[in-house]
């Protein structure tokens, strides 16, 4: 007989649980935090950008350069629709997912959407030297971050669950999100 409250491996694999979807600007920690959460919760981790690259057979920089940003956004939207039908996932989205409100609507139906944020200085520190982000491959990445953030801020702010990652460790951010997950689970159980 198993002790009350313990979860068997069988249950972990078969019980369907709402997804956790991490959104937020580039460099806010979606992938690193997502991996940690997936480990803790025994969920499957999906990095949307990586999946899109596998599907396209080329890196995002080449999708942007050869097919254009609208093509990338269409691939992103198709991937959202696909992932929103699954469960037990932690999804790290691309920073531009908020540009299409359908994406947030679809993901919200599939689970808890959490918006990660960081200050522009912190974002620059984390991603300033990266070469795989086409929107930041510019002579002045700091200005690109400021401009994009200014345009997108209202879209990020519209997400009810917000977690600021500046100055926090991976564990601290993951703990805050875990508390939100517990809260949303108990709200769901009550209704
Ligand atoms: C983008 C963010 C990137 C990637 C693409 C576009 C954006 O993902 O999807 O370069 O529009 O903000 P990360 O947020 O994982 O860097």
- The protein residue whose alpha carbon is closest to atom 9 in ligand 1 is 94
In short, whether 49's Cβ falls inside 6 Å of ligand 1 is yes
Cα distances (Å, whole numbers) of residue 163 to 63, 115, 116, 174: 30, 6, 5, 10
Tens digits of pLDDT across the chain (191 residues): 334 444 555 555 557 899 999 999 999 999 999 999 999 999 999 999 999 999 999 999 999 999 999 999 999 999 999 999 999 999 999 999 999 999 999 999 999 999 999 999 999 999 978 888 999 988 899 999 999 999 999 999 999 999 999 999 999 999 999 999 998 888 877 87
Measured between alpha carbons, how far is 166 from 154 in angstroms, rounded to an integer? 19
Would you state the pLDDT for residue 9? 55
Residue whose CB lies within 8 A of the most ligand 1 atoms, among 25, 96, 124, for a mutation test: 96
Q: What is the Å distance from ligand 1's center to 15 Cα?
A: 32
Question: CA-CA-CA-CA torsion for 156, 157, 161, 166, nearest 10 degrees?
Answer: 80
Q: What is the Å distance from ligand 1's center to 132 Cα?
A: 9
Residue whose CB lies within 8 A of the most ligand 1 atoms, among 35, 133, 144, 148, for a mutation test: 133
In short, whether 128's Cβ falls inside 6 Å of ligand 1 is no
| Residues paired with residue 73 on neighbouring β-strands, in sequence order | none
Q: Can you say how many angstroms the Cα of residue 131 is from the centroid of all Cα atoms in its chain?
A: 20
- The protein residue whose alpha carbon is closest to atom 16 in ligand 1 is 26
Please spell the DSSP secondary structure of 64-79, one letter per residue: IIII-HHHHHHHHHHH
Q: What is the Å distance from ligand 1's center to 61 Cα?
A: 10
Cα distances (Å, whole numbers) of residue 170 to 31, 33, 112, 164, 167: 11, 6, 19, 12, 10
Give Cβ neighbours of residue 73 (< 8 Å, ≥ 6 apart). Answer: 96, 99, 100
Reading the block at residue 26, the tokens are 């580039």
Would you state the pLDDT for residue 73? 98
Measured between alpha carbons, how far is 72 from 83 in angstroms, rounded to an integer? 16
Q: Can you say how many angstroms the Cα of residue 7 is from the centroid of all Cα atoms in its chain?
A: 26
Measured between alpha carbons, how far is 98 from 100 in angstroms, rounded to an integer? 5
Q: What is the Å distance from ligand 1's center to 44 Cα?
A: 21
């Amino acid at each position: 007989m198993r002790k009350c409250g313990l979860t068997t491996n069988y249950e972990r694999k078969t019980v369907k649980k709402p997804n956790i979807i991490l959104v937020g600007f580039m460099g806010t920690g979606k992938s690193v935090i997502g991996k940690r959460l997936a480990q803790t919760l025994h969920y499957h981790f999906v990095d949307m950008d990586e999946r899109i690259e596998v599907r396209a057979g080329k890196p995002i920089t080449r999708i942007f350069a050869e097919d254009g940003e609208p093509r990338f956004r269409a691939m992103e939207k198709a991937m959202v629709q696909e992932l929103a039908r699954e469960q037990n996932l932690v999804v790290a989205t691309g920073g531009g997912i908020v540009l299409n409100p359908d994406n947030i609507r679809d993901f919200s139906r599939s689970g808890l959407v959490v918006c990660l944020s960081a200050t522009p200085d912190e974002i620059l520190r984390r991603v300033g030297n990266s070469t795989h982000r086409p929107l930041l491959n510019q002579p002045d990445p700091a200005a690109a971050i400021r401009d994009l953030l200014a345009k997108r801020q209202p879209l990020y702010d519209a997400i009810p669950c917000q977690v600021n990652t500046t100055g926090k460790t991976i564990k601290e951010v993951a703990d805050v999100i875990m508390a939100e997950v517990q809260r949303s689970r108990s709200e769901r159980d009550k209704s």
